[in-house]
Amino acid sequence: MVETPHEITEEVSQNILKGITIPPQPQLVVDIQMEMASPNTSLNRVAAIITKDMGLSGSILKVVNSPFFGLRNKITSIQQALSLLGIKNVVNIVNSLSLRSALSHHSIIEMTKVWDSSMDIAIAASIISKQLKIASADEAYSLGLFHNCGIPLLMAKFPNYLAVLKQGYAEPEHFITDIENEHLGCNHAVIGYYVARAWKLPDHMCTVIADHHKSEAIFTEKLPCITPAKNLLAILKLAEHCCHTYQSFSHAKIDYEFERQKHDLFLYLGLSEYDFQDLIGEVAEIGHAS
């Protein structure tokens, strides 16, 4: 079994990653983060950094003007987008577009499905975090976006990867990542952890990405997990179920992972089944426009 992040040494790391290249954080994203870390962050300077890449700027404006944001007037500049939506919202869009560009393999058609699923989950996680008020909506969005970022890298390395993933989601008893480890010697959660680290996500978010298919053990308290990470993990599991992730990657009629942990997850969040159905309705209503 692949070790947890806390047990990963340099030697183990090299063994897990053999043949897999983790894409570095793009310089533009690094520059934006450095500007945001400055005590005198300037919208003008952030806008100037983004507009250096005209292709990215155009893609950002396309997303900003989509029905999801529901803006009355068309946004025509990055400066406008930053002023109306705020730096964090625009940076989330930059991350999503940059991550997709860095990890996409254009010869693999199925990657579109992976990115569509990640975007849906990111939006759903953001909505759920606002409803439950237990975590930052920005962090929930980023987690939804990054949590499966190991999948495209494994798709590019292993021709049979999607078949293995499908088997994992159709497994009624075992962790999805256990099936991957058995067949491939690694799994998308741990690979995603390395991507998240390389892209400088906060430590607790990197840990959630590594452990997001160990959630059943976490909510039964068989595995330790700090509260900020556990809250984000809970939001992610609800978002995945709302977005029917198990059907995206498998023909399974049941979300086995969710069903195994639902009781403990609801207990942790203080949710009833009725509350959850209301939450699904909120996600469907708000997220549908995206």
Residues 94-149: pLDDT tens digits? Answer: 988 899 888 877 666 778 888 889 989 999 999 999 999 999 998 999 999 999 99
pLDDT at 26 over 80: yes
* pLDDT tens string 246-262: 888 888 889 999 999 99
Mean pLDDT of the chain: 87
Q: How far apart are CA 209 and CA 190, in angstroms?
A: 7
pLDDT at 271 over 90: yes
pLDDT at 220: 94
More reliable by pLDDT, 269 or 96 = 269
pLDDT at 31: 93
Q: How far apart are CA 194 and CA 207, in angstroms?
A: 10
| DSSP result, the chain | -PPPGGG--HHHHHHHTTT-PPPPPPHHHHHHHHHHHSTT--HHHHHHHHTTSHHHHHHHHHHHTSTTT--SS---SHHHHHHHH-HHHHHHHHHHHHHHHHH--TT-TTHHHHHHHHHHHHHHHHHHHHHH-SS-HHHHHHHHHHTTTHHHHHHHH-TTHHHHHHHHHT-SSS-HHHHHHHHHSS-HHHHHHHHHHHTT--HHHHHHHHHTT-HHHHHTTSS---HHHHHHHHHHHHHHHHTTHHHHS---SS-HHHHHHHHHHHHHHT--HHHHHHHHHHHHHHHTT-
* Percent of the chain residues topping a pLDDT of 70: 91
Q: What tokens were used for 227?
A: 């509260």
pLDDT at 284 over 90: no
pLDDT at 287: 60
* pLDDT tens string 45-88: 999 999 999 988 998 898 888 776 777 788 899 999 999 888 88
| List of residues 6+ apart from 77 with CB closer than 8 A | 47, 61
Q: Sign of the CA dihedral 87, 22, 231, 252? A: positive
pLDDT at 2 over 50: no
pLDDT at 290: 43
Encode burial over 90-115: b for 16+ CB neighbours within 10 A, e otherwise: bbbbbbbbbbbebbeeeeeeebeebb
Q: Which domains does the chain have, with CATH numbers?
A: 26-103 (no CATH), 109-290 (1.10.3210.10)
* pTM, rounded to two decimals: 0.86
